[in-house]
Amino acid sequence: MGDSLKYFGASIATAILGVLLGGVIGYSYTGTLSGGLQSAFIVFVLSILEISLSFDNAVVNATVLKDMDEVWRHRFITWGIAIAVFGMRIVFPLAIVSLIAHIGPIDAVVLAATEPDEYSHIIETAHVSVSAFGGAFLAMVGLKHFIDLEKEVFWIAWLERPIAQLGRVEAVQIGLCLLLLWGVSTQLAQDERLTFLTMGIFGLLAFIAVDGISAVLDAASEAQGLAVRSGLAAFLYLEVLDASFSFDGVIGAFALSNNLFVIAIGLGTGAMFVRSLTVMLVEKGTLAEYRYLEHGAFYAIIALAVIMFLKTFVHVPEVITGLIGAGFIVVALWSSLRHNRREAQARDDERRS
């Protein structure tokens, strides 16, 4: 219990405060107790939704953080949560509305506060662009993990070994991602295809830029004899990755509420728990203990990328998205536990013989 409070104490306190604040906002808009309770409940549901959608994000974050120095790890946990909550959950939706409606940031805030239905409608019109960008970035993250000649640990070996060998082909990940973008675009309305392809290419370029910066800074770190991964490079990578995970949740949250502030509180509360989980995974060495957990997270990333693409032309409930991601994590955890038991049994048999 004490160990859990160490990692999740601040998140639990934030969740309680968030639910109360959501109730206050609901009451201020409706003037009724039932309106306040409904908003408080939506904050709670949104926080659960964010946790379920981003559980795999926490595992991937942990794989990067374990190689970062303490200074940059602390910066990600502190600055990163500020960017995640205020940047992605408040500034990002306002920026979308400002760009689409051709209004200033302040007018976008006023629109969110006074005309939430119109604000929600504008956000939803951007789902093709957002899904294309986020889906392309996440697809590249997942493809890079699996298409790797140096990969030594395989979970589903019969599938992952041949995929890893594709790394012999130069830039094969980019080709596969472009092919996927083209395939999805053929299912869209004529007026949406160019938008989808354009934003998908920008998502692809964002990955190349972040990965390139990471490679340059990592090379500089090695030249200086540093054993840890470049903090700035890893920080940039994690922030863009977190943003890509958040796109789906931010857009989907408007199905539950059209109030920007209620959504920001709910998703922000969930983001706090994801950060706490990330820290716990790093400090307790969970990834090393459960060898297939990382694999499950990257399968979930690929699934989320595909779902984001599918959402541009078919409806996929957020519950399904969350269950698929959580399902991969649970199965990977179970496989890891089974592997650990087999290893322990083999060591026991060796000692006895």
Query: How would DSSP label each residue in 156-196?
Result: SHHHHHHHHHGGGSTTHHHHHHHHHHHHHHTTS-HHHHHHH
Task: Provide the pLDDT confidence category of residue 324 given band limits of 50, 70 and 90.
Answer: confident
| Better pLDDT: 193 or 7 | 193
CA distance 125 to 120: 9
- End-to-end CA, the chain: 40
Q: How many structural domains is the chain composed of?
A: 1
At residue 2, the pLDDT reads 54
Least confident of 5-14, 89-98, 220-229, 341-350: 220-229
Does residue 1 carry a pLDDT above 60?
A: no
Question: Cβ(17)–Cβ(286) under 8 Å?
Answer: no
Q: Which two tokens stand for residue 264?
A: 């920001």
Helix (H) or strand (E) holding 130: helix 127-146
pTM, full prediction: 0.80
At residue 103, the pLDDT reads 82
**Mean pLDDT, residues 260-271 taken together:** 84
Dihedral (Cα; 155, 240, 238, 51), 10-degree rounding = -70
The amino acid sitting at 141 is: V
Q: In which domain, by residue range, is 285 found?
A: 2-352
The amino acid sitting at 270 is: G
